[in-house]
Amino acid sequence: MRKQYGALVVGAGIGGIRAALDLAVTGHKVALIDRRPTHGGILSQLDHQFPSDHCGMCKMLPLMSRDSSSQFCLRKGLFHDNIDIMLSTEVAELEGEPGKFFVSLSTKSPLIDPTKCVSCGKCAEVCPVRVPSEFNAGLTERTAVYLPVPHAIPNHYVLDLDNCQRCWKCHDACPTGAIDLKFNERVDFHILVVDRDPAVETMLKDILNELNFPLHCVQTGQAAVDMLASDDRIRLVLVGMNINDMDAERVLTRSLELNADIPVVVMAETSQISTAAAMVTQGAREYLVKPLEAKRFVPWLDKLYMRIMSDTTEDLEVGAVVLAGGFECYNPVVDPEGGEDIWSYGHPGVLTAVEFERLLSGTGPTGGRLLHPGDNSEVRKIAWIQCVGSRDVKKNADFCSGICCMFSIKEAVLAKKATNGAVETTIFYMDMRTSGKGYQRYRNKAEHEKGVRLVRSRPHSVIPVNDGMDLKVEYMTDAGELVSETYDMVVLAAGARPPGGMEKFALTMGLDLNEWGFAQMQPYASERTSRLGVFAAGSFGEPRDISESVIQASAAAQAASRIIKVYDVLAGIESEPEPEYPDVSREPPRILVAVCTSCPTLEQTVDLEALSRKMSAVHSVCKVISVGATCTGEGWAEIEKGAAEFKPNRVLIGACMPYAYIPRLKELGRSIGLNPALMDVVDIYTPTFVLESEGQAEKEVFAALSMAVARLQGADPVPVPVTVDVARSALVVGGGLAGMTASMAIADQGYGVCLVESEEELGGMAMRLHTQLDGSDPHKFMEELIGQVEKHPNIKVLKDSRVAISRGSAGRFRSAIAGPQGVFPLEHGVSILATGGHETKVYESGLCVHKSVMTHLALEEQLATGVLDAGALTGVAMIQCWRSRDEDRTYCSRVCCPEMLKNVLTLKKRNPDLPIYVFYRDIMVQGFMETYYTQARKAGAIFIHYEPDNKPKVAFEDGKPVITALDPVLNAEVEIRADILSLSSGLEPNDVEDLLEVFGVEVNEDGFYQEADFKWRPVDFLKQGIYMCGAAHSPRRMDETVASAKAAAQRALRILSTEKIARETVVASVRHSLCSLCQACVAACPYGARVVDLEEGKIIVDEILCQGCGACAAVCPNSATILKGFHDGPMMSVIDAALEQPA
């Protein structure tokens, strides 16, 4: 029986996690797999992300029904009731169709049983192998048996068989027998060898004698087939290509017919390699090249045996598939064009960006100190070199990796911070691509406040000088001077590449790839791959930064849930009933304390018997039991047994890594009928590291346990949750591309949508576009979308209307819509603001005065409608950033560069000899958009850079523009006479001042909506139940707008998919009689969950918004604010317990 899931998510980096969580919280079961032994993707290696320069990944965790998922550091671990995580797992096969895919997964065994491993590390201590550590990007070494990331919870060792030397020392060292190398099963592993060469038989017999495998040698194919048919003990077939009676292919086919799972290995002569390789595609496991040498053959066979015996496969049935395999970083070492040589990669002072990030990490090789990997000296001068392996046609990378500019600025800022500003930082770049939300401000701050030096110039190479102590970087200034500088460290901003093994993966999944080896995505639906029902999340379809990856992941989740819904209308609706627990609030507390005794350090430092005695004496403790290794299945069974026997109404467990136990506590709760809120796990392991004085560890462990006892004693009997009946429909404000897309996404899931548009027609800004760079027809797309929206039975479109008032909170809003027919009320569960933007109005450079001057949009229109005849033109000039990225508007409008390229390519197509000159500051075309910039240059357009303090000057002669500007390469004025001057006017958000009031939301300093968190909650407002998308969020192109709209819809579905929203167990409340209305709590609340109601004279807490962090309770001067479960009384008892000496 295949296990059934709503969706399979491939890749457990942030894209995969976001998509999986989005699906899980709307009630879909998700299988989340990753081929690595860890989750978190590349971000498990990165400690800091701009603009906060911290992490913050945990903000992705669910805000509602928080108990169903982990609520701790997301880099450490993740669990959710609806998500099954399978690591070291890959897709072997995908068949079927949308709604009903059949998936085969194959999982590489870690060879260490996680239910037995106590993470003591004794295996790693004895392991003789040293290989570069993936986690530290090769800056440190690891053993073959190792922890893939040091911070995971739970954290179990894995055995990297490929690098294992088979000394078996780890096996002998393991105190719990967790390492299973299948020694005893060897005698049952029969191997059949088919080969005519007697030497092979002799050699194999010799070797296999030592390995204990039973061996059967035959000389003919027929004999082999007969044996396979009659003897079901055969577990492996080795077939030579020299047998006479049938060819090896035939033996392979027959073997697989007899036993589809039998591994067949081909033994080939060097001359037969191509045939042997072909046999692998026909189902052979692998091939070996003769002559077989014992030195290589024995370890190979031994490891193959362990793989065959330990690896597992699993078959699933899933409704949809989401691919979130991310990208890999360009590696200068494997570049056949000599990327390694040019950049001196291999010199200890030359690092890639990820390596540098590891160097700055607290868990990195230097503990976060900025020390030179060569000699551990302080680093004084660092250069970053951008576009290493990106924007390089010679490396088949005619694309921009999209992440490196901000990555490098952040690293420079971090380096400054790590050295108190002492280190000199220089970034060499071609175009500084700061086109994301807030990026330009971050750049300006780095440059002008933090002292990061930015140099627009690409050095030729990096050359070690001074006996290799320094690195010489030479570059050209704009003045034409060659400057030579030396650095002690150079960081290469290595770009993105498709994930390793992409071609094979694409074959398995049935995907088309683009010319650079990434998945081919569809226009206006950047989450759709070429295969129906298979979607791309995160940066799988195109290299993207975190914020856009997260948006893309939610969009993919939305598309997947739509498919799941189409084929299974009940999907996501049924949810497991919450278990009911007996009310124990009137019983005296009886606490069972279980102390884990498996930690080696605990036994050495603490007298466990004395501890048990002392704990037994603590008030309300009914029993103390010692458990060997609670983290193992066996240990847990002991606790269950104890709980069943002593019938406590509180359970306390002393062990290590408390977070790891949360899912298990829930299971325990179900099995013994006790609310998990009345259970706790405390860390008694960490105190054993503090050994300042005799007996201190014992005191600390005792204190930790008795504090938890005090806390459990005072644990509130769980109240009947306050619930909100959800009004299961949405209000969408704005009928442009974003609003319509979001409306469709919600309506298709069966919920009502009221779409309010202030204009008389739907469509918005996108209606002004006539063509797209990818050749698609935006008009046709928009017309179809408008048609679908207007006909959709679940969507009510109100044109020429406005939202006059909106009150309430997530799940139940009451709003009033004012339109031509008057005002009418609306109840809805969520609101989506998609109010869009518009082209900036400019009255400069002769725009609106001379007919020859127009904006890019107007030029596109004139070209599309035939008003302008490109063939009759003799010269065209364009100016970029005309009204963006200056004091008035400190952001990049993002759409103007692609718009300019579109016009350039259209003009050049119609009139190839037409001279076109483009004045620009930085060409902002991320990802695969870069290729259009290349095409524009190839077509002959000339691009001239200008600095904002020396903008091109525009004059007119006979109504025609004459542009003079400094060409920095020639260091000379160029004078351009053109028929037409086209200006990039930039994009501004629409005025939403009235809506801010109505919805109680905010905009940022540029007038775009302020999201809850730029990276991790990019389409949420801080106020729950309200979401944003489209150009009102940030300047976006059409496909990016669509992605944000689908993401916003998916976030909204979280609320719409439930009938009731229950109150969380830990929320704050106000005792109004004690409240002095000082409002300190309102300012302190990071979630905006508190408002002051002046009429009532009360502080009101929105229980849905409140996340129970306790910031309010901490600032409240007279304890008027209290946190459920953390009242003063119990907290005082906890403090008393902490200070109490053991009796």
Partner 1 sequence: MGETTVLAVEPKQSELMKKIKDLLPEGGNLNMCLACGACSSGCPATGMEGMDPRKFVRLALLGQEEVLRSTPWVWMCTMCRRCIHACPMGVDIPQLVYLCRQTWAREDRPKGILGSCEQALNTPGNSAMGASSEDFKFVVEDVLEEVREGQPGQENLVAPIDKQGAYYFLNQNSREPVTEPDEMVPLWKILSLVGADWTYGTKGWAAENYCMFLADDDAWETVVRNKAKAVEDLGCKVWLNTE
Please select the residue that binds partner 1; options are 400, 966, 995, 1123, rule is CB under 8 A.
966
Nearer to partner 1 by C-beta: 251 or 976? 976
Q: Is 391 in the site for partner 1 (CB under 8 A)?
A: yes
The token pair that represents 330 in the structure block: 């360009």
Question: Nearest approach, Cβ of 485 to partner 1 (angstroms)?
Answer: 11
Q: Does 1078 bind partner 1 (CB under 8 A)?
A: no
Q: Which is nearer to partner 1, 543 or 836 (CB)?
A: 543
937 binds partner 1 (CB under 8 A): yes
Sign of the Cα pseudo-torsion (199, 200, 203, 206, in order): negative
Tell how strand 3-10 and strand 312-323 pair up: parallel
Shortest distance in whole angstroms from residue 430 CB to partner 1: 5
Contacts of 38 (CB under 8 A, 6+ apart): 44, 87, 148, 149, 152
DSSP class of residue 852 equals T
Of 939 and 1115, nearer to partner 1 (C-beta) is 939
Stretch that binds partner 1, among 156-164, 937-945, 1003-1011, 1051-1059 (CB under 8 A): 937-945
**At its nearest, how many Å lie between partner 1 and the CB of residue 458?**
4
What is the identity of the amino acid at 875? G
Which regions of 470-520 does DSSP assign to beta strands (E)?
470-476, 482-487, 489-494, 496-497
Backbone phi, psi, residue 913, to 5° = -90, 0
Angle, helices 1128-1139/696-713, rounded to nearest 10 degrees: 160
**Helix locations, 431-533, DSSP H:** 439-448, 502-509
CB 1010 within 8 A of CB 1002: yes
Residue 770 phi/psi, 5° resolution? -115, -30
Output 479 or 720, the one with its CB closest to partner 1: 479
> Site for partner 1 (CB under 8 A): which residue of 130, 453, 619, 938?
938
Cite the DSSP H helix spans in 618-722.
633-646, 662-672, 696-713
**Tally of CB atoms within 10 A around 600:** 13
DSSP 631: T
**How many Cβ atoms are within 10 Å of 886's Cβ, its own excluded?**
13
**Window 942-961: residues binding partner 1 (CB under 8 A):** 942-943, 945
| Smallest separation (angstroms) from partner 1 to the CB of 479 | 4
Residue 970 near partner 1 by CB under 8 A: yes
Q: Closest CB to partner 1 among 976 and 1048?
A: 976
Closest CA to 659 of 77, 30, 32, 41: 77
Near partner 1 by CB under 8 A: residue from 291, 480, 633, 948: 480
| 475 counts as binding partner 1 under rule CB under 8 A | yes
Assess 543 for contact with partner 1 (CB under 8 A). no
CB of 986 to partner 1, least distance (A): 24
Find the part of the chain contacting partner 1 (CB under 8 A) among 499-507, 835-843, 909-917, 1117-1125.
Answer: 909-917
* Interacting residues with partner 1 between 1010 and 1069 (CB under 8 A): none
Q: Are 908 and 914 contacting, i.e. CB atoms less than 8 angstroms apart?
A: yes
Distance, CA of 989 to CA of 1008 (rounded, Å): 6
1081 within 8 A of 1116, measured Cβ to Cβ: yes
Q: Does 507 bind partner 1 (CB under 8 A)?
A: no
Q: Kindly give the pairing relationship between strand 350-352 and strand 141-142.
A: unpaired
Site for partner 1 in 833-852 (CB under 8 A): none
Closest CB to partner 1 among residues 908, 1054: 908
- Segment near partner 1 (CB under 8 A); pick from 1-9, 469-477, 744-752, 1020-1028: 469-477
Q: Figure out which of the listed residues 240, 402, 459, 1018 binds partner 1, where binding follows CB under 8 A.
A: 459
Q: Contact with partner 1 (CB under 8 A): which of 201, 317, 827, 967?
A: 967
Of the candidate spans 114-122, 548-556, 777-785, 936-944, the one that interacts with partner 1 by CB under 8 A turns out to be: 936-944
The H or E element containing residue 169 is helix 169-173
Residue type, 639: I
Among 628, 940, 948, 959, binds partner 1 (CB under 8 A): 940
Q: Which segments of 1058-1117 does DSSP mark as H helices, in order?
A: 1080-1084, 1111-1115
How many Cβ atoms are within 10 Å of 634's Cβ, its own excluded? 14
Both tokens of 1016, joined, read 């991790």
Task: Establish if 917 lies at the interface with partner 1 (CB under 8 A).
Answer: yes
CA pair distance 184, 168, nearest whole angstrom: 14
**Is 872 among the residues that bind partner 1 (CB under 8 A)?**
no
Q: Is 396 near partner 1 (CB under 8 A)?
A: no
Q: Residues in the chain, how many?
A: 1143
Residue 350 Cβ vs partner 1, minimum distance, rounded to whole Å: 16
358-387: contacts with partner 1 (CB under 8 A): 387
Q: Give yes or no for residue 394 binding partner 1 (CB under 8 A).
A: yes
Q: How far is the CB of 1078 from partner 1 (least distance, A)?
A: 57
| Region from 11-19, 269-277, 774-782, 939-947 binding partner 1, contact rule CB under 8 A | 939-947
351 touches 489 (CB < 8 A): yes
Asked if 1108 contacts 1066 with a C-beta cutoff of 8 angstroms, the reply is yes
Give the number of residues in contact with partner 1, rule: CB under 8 A: 46
Q: What are phi and psi of 185, to 5 degrees?
A: -85, -5
Q: Are 78 and 70 in contact (CB under 8 A)?
A: yes
Binding segment for partner 1 (CB under 8 A), chosen from 157-165, 407-415, 473-481, 593-601, is 473-481
Tokens of 208: 């296999």
Identify which range of 28-36, 278-286, 930-938, 1094-1102 contacts partner 1 by CB under 8 A: 930-938
For residue 921, state whether it binds partner 1 (rule: CB under 8 A): no
For the residues of 779-813, what is the DSSP string, one character each?
Answer: HHHHHHHHHHHHH-TTEEEE-S-EEEEEEEETTEE
User: With binding defined as CB under 8 A, does residue 915 bind partner 1?
Assistant: yes
Measured from the CB of residue 949, what is the shortest distance to partner 1 in angstroms? 12
List the one residue from 212, 585, 671, 971 that touches partner 1 (CB under 8 A): 971
The answer to whether 1109 contacts partner 1 (rule: CB under 8 A) is: no
Contact flag: residue 10 with partner 1 (CB under 8 A): no
Q: Least distance in Å: CB of 936 to partner 1? A: 9
1004 near partner 1, judged by CB under 8 A? no
Return the number of the residue (937 or 1063) whose C-beta is nearest partner 1: 937
Task: Give, to the nearest 10 degrees, the angle between helix 608-617 and helix 696-713.
Answer: 30
Residue 479 binds partner 1 (CB under 8 A): yes
Helix axes 221-230, 248-258, angle to 10 degrees: 10
Q: State the nearest-atom distance from the C-beta of 1104 to partner 1, in Å.
A: 52
**CB burial string 892-903: b at 16+ within 10 A, e below:** bbbbbbbbbbbb
| Least gap, CB of 187 to partner 1 (angstroms) | 53
Which is nearer to partner 1, 456 or 856 (by Cβ)? 456
Does position 913 interact with partner 1 (CB under 8 A)? The reply is yes
Q: Please report whether residue 460 would count as binding partner 1 according to CB under 8 A.
A: yes
Residue pair 32/40 in contact by the 8 Å Cβ criterion = no
113 binds partner 1 (CB under 8 A): no
Cβ atoms of 163 and 131 closer than 8 Å: yes
Tokens of 891: 């952001």
User: Per CB under 8 A, does 616 bind partner 1?
Assistant: no
CA distance 875 to 977: 7
Q: Residue 453 interacts with partner 1 (CB under 8 A)?
A: no
- What does the angle CA 377 – CA 383 – CA 389 come to, to the nearest 5 degrees? 120
Nearer Cβ to partner 1 (459/778): 459
Q: Which of 783, 973, 1059, 1136 binds partner 1 (CB under 8 A)?
A: 973
Contact residues toward partner 1 (CB under 8 A) are: 338, 342, 387, 391-395, 430, 457-461, 474-482, 913, 915, 917, 934, 937-940, 942-943, 945, 964, 966-967, 969-977
